[in-house]
Amino acid sequence: MADIILGIESSCDDTSAAVIADGVLLSNVIASQQVHKDFGGVVPELASRAHEQNIVPVVSQALDKAGVKPEDLTAIAFTRGPGLLGSLLVGTSFAKALSLSLDIPMIMVNHLQGHILANFIRQKDIPVREPSFPYLCLLVSGGNSQIVKVSSPLEYEILGQTIDDAVGEAFDKCSKMLGLGYPGGPIIDRLAKQGNPDRFTFAKPNIPGLDYSFSGVKTSLLYFVRDEMAKDPDFMEKNKEDICASFQKTLIDVLMQKLIKAAKQTGIKEITIGGGVSANSGLRERIVQEGEKRHWNTYLPEFKFTTDNAAMIAVSGWFQYKAGVRTPLDVAPVSRMADF
């Protein structure tokens, strides 16, 4: 009998459910919430309400698409945190109710662990390249910027992390500053493709070790735009492609500098990326280029698995299930999770 795991993800503004059988993806349904568009960011209260509306249809659809009945399920994996508490409560409570009614175990998953294991999502008839252990993961999202050493699916060590803003936040805040919209990452990525990355320079942080800082780059952009706009009110509009390209290049330079250092220090040449910012085309290109130069084996998750999805939660849960990990029913979601 195959292990059939239902994954549930509700940490932010995507309600997602996925089904995997012995690690192979059968379905992955994502309902992205549009309600936040007019607010320039995710509104937690609205996110929770939308999850509450979406969760039953999304799970039903995932089961239907997979051709799986609830009673076929072996276990339920759900995101416990980090994320928005109200959003996490919806997924966690749903997982508990289903686990009780079907009398099957549930397994809590750290959302970040899901991103880190995204390269292990196996799809039918699609060959998959999986990193071997230990590997380094550059985990970059709206809430995190970390370099993580992954020694096994259940063993993680954070080698470095941001001391202030996450890189995704830097993308989003830059976009807001330039009046380009939310979420900023994909917009800047698109405009950067048409711009000159070497036209402008922004201050880079000088932080010891493997930690990151992105607040200075952001401030440097703020002052630059303010000063230029004082000279020419149309400066932004006329130069937005070059500003985006140059800003994006600065962020990528900062990310890569520490990743290269971490690879040198650990001697690890298996390199992956994960999290929303791993969708960035400039970062993806650069990591492949650096990898070729430095004889790394690089692994990029498919675009559809870079942003929040339940497939990565189901896979993480499956690894834990096989290792005998089970979560008691009195578990509560947490907005922050320091450790994996």
**Residue ranges in contact with ligand KG4 by CB under 6 A:** 12, 141-143, 168, 171-172, 183-186, 189, 275-277, 279-280, 307-308
For 144-163, b where at least 16 C-beta lie within 10 A, e where not — what string?
bbbbbbbeebeebebbbbbe
- Give whichever of 40 and 186 is closer to ligand KG4, judged by the CB atom: 186
Nearest distance from residue 102's CB to ligand KG4, in Å? 29
Minimum separation from the CB atom of position 55 to ligand KG4 (A): 18
Residue with tokens 């508490």: 85
Nearer to ligand KG4, 105 or 195 (CB): 195
Q: Which is nearer to ligand KG4, 216 or 275 (CB)?
A: 275
Residue 313 near residue 79, CB atoms below 8 Å: yes
Minimum CB distance to ligand KG4, residue 308 (Å): 5
Q: Which is nearer to ligand KG4, 21 or 148 (CB)?
A: 148
Question: 92: part of which helix (H) or strand (E)?
Answer: helix 85-102
Q: Tell me which long-range contacts 322-329 makes (C-beta under 8 A, separation of at least 24).
A: 322/3, 323/153, 323/154, 325/107, 325/154, 326/105, 326/106, 326/107, 327/80, 327/105, 327/106, 327/107, 327/108, 329/96, 329/99, 329/100, 329/106
For residues 180 and 172, is the Cβ–Cβ distance under 8 A? no
What is the C-alpha to C-alpha distance for residues 157 and 136, in angstroms, rounded to an integer? 10
Residue 91 or residue 105: which is nearer to ligand KG4 going by CB? 91
> Closest CB to ligand KG4 among 70 and 282?
282
Q: Which residues of 33-57 are buried (b: 16+ CB within 10 A; e: fewer)?
A: beebeeeeebbbeebbbbbbebbee
Query: 3-state DSSP call for residue 57?
Result: helix
Nearer to ligand KG4, 172 or 242 (CB): 172
The minimum distance between CB 12 and ligand KG4, in angstroms, equals 6
| Residue (105 or 276) nearer to ligand KG4, CB | 276
The DSSP letter of residue 199 is: S
Write down the least CB distance from residue 305 to ligand KG4, Å.
Answer: 11
Whole-number minimum distance, CB 287 to ligand KG4, in Å?
Answer: 13
Q: Which of 62, 85, 89, 83 is nearest to 4 (CA)?
A: 62
In whole angstroms, the minimum distance from the beta carbon of 154 to ligand KG4 comes to 21
Closer to ligand KG4 at the Cβ: 86 or 105? 86
Which DSSP state fits 298? E
Least distance to ligand KG4, CB of residue 171, Å: 5
Tell me how far, at minimum, the Cβ of 142 lies from ligand KG4, in Å: 3
**Could you tell me the CA-to-CA distances from 294 to 149, 253, 271, 273 in Å, in that order?**
18, 16, 11, 16
Residue that has been written with the tokens 């703020």 in this structure: 222
